[in-house]
Amino acid sequence: MAFFKRKVQFNDDLGFGSSPVLKNQRVLNTDGSPNIERIGLPWFKFDDTYTRLVTMSWPKFFLVILITYLIVNTFFAVAYNVIGIENLDGAKGTTLRDQFFDAFFFSAQTISTVGYGHISPQGFITSILAAFESMLGLLAFALATGLLYGRFSRPTSKVMFSKKMVIAPYQNHSGLMCRLVNLRKNSLIDVEAQMYMTFNETVDGKLKRSFYPLELERSKISMLSLNWTLVHPINEDSPIFEKTLTELSQADVEIFVILTAFDDTFAQTIHTRTSYQDEDIEWNAKFKIMHYHNEEGKMVMDYSLFDRTEKVMIG
């Protein structure tokens, strides 16, 4: 027997399979990424290099660029020393350390095509190596420029979801609510939201993961200019009608929120999502209003109130 009431049969598993959740693990992380550990893949795949460099965090990206820069210059510095430091006219180092750094900084000037002129290559082999490094530098900086452009031009969402969901009075019953807001000053149009609930239930004697859509009071708005509170009415048609927090916890309930919108800055459709578990639901609470009119009558949004809630009594 199904633990949650179903108004209609819903067979779509949203791509997460039907394996039950164990030890209260999330199916979807709060940042929208699947909570899946992937093993058996090679540590490095050359054809995935661009994807990794474009999607990794900015600190990690700059760290990769810095490490690559140091490794390449170290390699060429060693190569110049192997050929003979005397082939670098203007290198004045007398110790191995000083000679290495003379070659290292000459390599840095060559690969960036700066060429201060303090040190210059002498001899055919050294000149060939310097010419090769200069060509490599042109290609590397062109690639780095393309990566930077790709990272900046990639459409990303700055939609923030509330840390918690609340169950507050709604019409004659109550409603399951979460709040979202656009952190950018650009406009998001044709914004559409979907809410799904996933839970463990026993079907034909087997424990499986089931998915069920939660109907929203309003699933689409024309423009996201203020905050938007998504409301799932908890009425007789809701699968969580008259359910308690203990019952939700026993079923390892998780709720997905999926948002789609058209970003007029990038002129592309963006997608974002998050998830909430039963411990992320605050009962008998509502979100504080975060927008008001100032003395001039202009609408003001106070983002410091975004996650603020206040207790209410549900009749």
pLDDT tens per residue across all 315 residues of the chain: 455 655 545 555 667 766 767 667 777 788 777 777 777 777 677 777 888 888 888 899 999 999 999 999 999 999 999 999 898 988 888 899 999 999 999 999 999 888 787 888 888 999 999 999 999 999 998 988 888 888 887 777 789 999 999 998 888 888 999 999 998 888 889 999 999 988 887 777 787 788 888 999 999 999 888 889 999 999 888 888 888 888 888 888 889 999 999 988 778 888 999 999 888 988 889 999 888 888 888 888 888 899 999 988 765
Please, what's the b/e burial string for 127-139 (b: 16 or more CB within 10 A of its CB; e: otherwise)? eebbeebeeebee
Position of tokens 């509502």? 286
Residue 1 has what pLDDT?
A: 41
The β-bridge partners of 176 are: 167, 232
- Distance from CA of residue 122 to its chain's centroid? 50
Residue 18 has what pLDDT?
A: 66
Element (H, E) at 248: helix 245-250
d(CA 29, CA 25): 9
CB 155 within 8 A of CB 298: no
d(CA 166, CA 251): 19
Please report how many Cα atoms fall inside a 13 Å half-sphere around the Cα of residue 234, on the Cβ side.
Answer: 18
Rg of the chain in Å (alpha carbons): 29
Residues 6+ positions from 116 with CB-CB distance below 8 Å: 109
d(CA 161, CA 165): 9
Residues 6+ positions from 142 with CB-CB distance below 8 Å: none
Length of the chain: 315
Please report how many Cα atoms fall inside a 13 Å half-sphere around the Cα of residue 219, on the Cβ side.
Answer: 12
The whole model's pTM is what?
0.72
